[in-house]
A and B are shown apart, each in its own frame.
Chain A
Amino acid sequence: MESPLNARAVLLSMLMDGKGYGLDLIDRARKRTRGKVTLNEGSVYPALRAMEEEGLLKSFPSEPIPERGGRPRRYYELTAEGRRVARDHAKTAFALLPPPAVVR
């Protein structure tokens, strides 16, 4: 099993919240982890494309957006298989945490 904290796992986890595009997913990861996880473009886009080829994600373009020079955003969302893999990653990450101490 691959590490639960690689770019793929983080992207899958971010996409559990709903569709997103490259820049937005990088921002979401940074905000949600309060800056502890910073994805870079070098890993994000190849990971997104690879996961799409593997059938974990599907992508679709938005309407052209003026602030992007008239280019559309490319949104990604999880497929059923992607959702299952994302849940597996989340379970593995949780399993790595120490059990909570009970204070009486």
Chain B
Amino acid sequence: MRIGLRDKVVVPVPRDVWCFPRAFQVAQLLARAGIRSRALRRTLQFYARDQAFHRGSPLRVEFVRFTGDTFSMFDLLQPPPDRTAILLRVLARGLPPRIAEEEIGDALEFRERGLAAGLPLWELRLGVAAKVFWALVHTLGHFLKSVTGR
């Protein structure tokens, strides 16, 4: 059974599941329903881990709904959280403002453009890694300059 991220999935829930299922329960439920899509399972497990019912969060996780003794998983058009972008944003907090604004901003923009242009993921990752490497080198240079004055 092949299921894409655009498919709506309804999985029967055992009566003893009284709260949002944990990651291993999601895996069990999907396996029991005969769903073998790894991408779908990973996406759901990621959300199940810690973002259940955070309806007001920026991720708008609203795709799990209890309806009697079933819950529906829907709205899977919502992409999984962009971990690279999150990592870059966290990294940017530790960098001097000018470098964070300019170099990390460019890395994020490069990635967005690449995704829109359909560049292969390895190429995007390589490009972003190079930009982050240079941002770190320039940060080191910035601190050395502020210490030595040269």
Q: With an 8 A cutoff between CB atoms, is B134 at the interface?
A: yes
Q: Is the CB of A41 within 8 A of B104?
A: no
Q: Is the CB of A74 within 8 A of B138?
A: no
Docked CA distance A41–B135 (Å): 8
- Which of B89, B103, B108, B110 has a CB less than 8 Å from the CB of A45? B103
Q: Is the CB of B108 within 8 A of A22?
A: no
Q: With an 8 A cutoff between CB atoms, is B100 at the interface?
A: yes
Docked CA distance A40–B137 (Å): 13
Given A45-B138, A46-B141, A69:B92 Cβ within 8 A = yes
How far is the CB of A54 from the nearest CB of chain B, in Å? Answer: 15
- Which of B100, B106, B137 has a CB less than 8 Å from the CB of A42? B137
Q: Is the CB of A69 within 8 A of B137?
A: no
Given A40-B130, A42-B134, A22:B92 Cβ within 8 A = no
Scoring A42, A67, A69 by chain B CB atoms within 10 A of each residue's CB, the highest score goes to A69
Q: Which residues of B lie under 8 Å from residue A67 when comparing CB positions?
A: 108-109, 112-113
How far is the CB of B101 from the nearest CB of chain A, in Å? Answer: 5
Looking at chain B's contact residues, the main secondary structure is helix
Interface size for B (C-beta < 8 A) is 25
How far is the CB of B81 from the nearest CB of chain A, in Å? Answer: 14
Q: With an 8 A cutoff between CB atoms, is A103 at the interface?
A: no
Nearest to B102 among chain A residues (CB) is A74
Docked CA distance A23–B106 (Å): 6
Q: Which residues of B lie under 8 Å from residue A61 when comparing CB positions?
A: 101
How far is the CB of A7 from the nearest CB of chain B, in Å? Answer: 13
Q: Is the CB of B89 within 8 A of A23?
A: no
Docked CA distance A96–B92 (Å): 43
- Which of B103, B134, B135 has a CB less than 8 Å from the CB of A40? B134
Interface residues of B in 77-99 (CB under 8 A from A): 85, 88-89, 92, 98-99
Docked CA distance A45–B106 (Å): 11
Q: With an 8 A cutoff between CB atoms, is B131 at the interface?
A: yes
- Which of B99, B105, B110 has a CB less than 8 Å from the CB of A69? B105
6 closest A-B pairs by CB: A71-B105, A68-B105, A41-B134, A23-B106, A67-B112, A74-B102
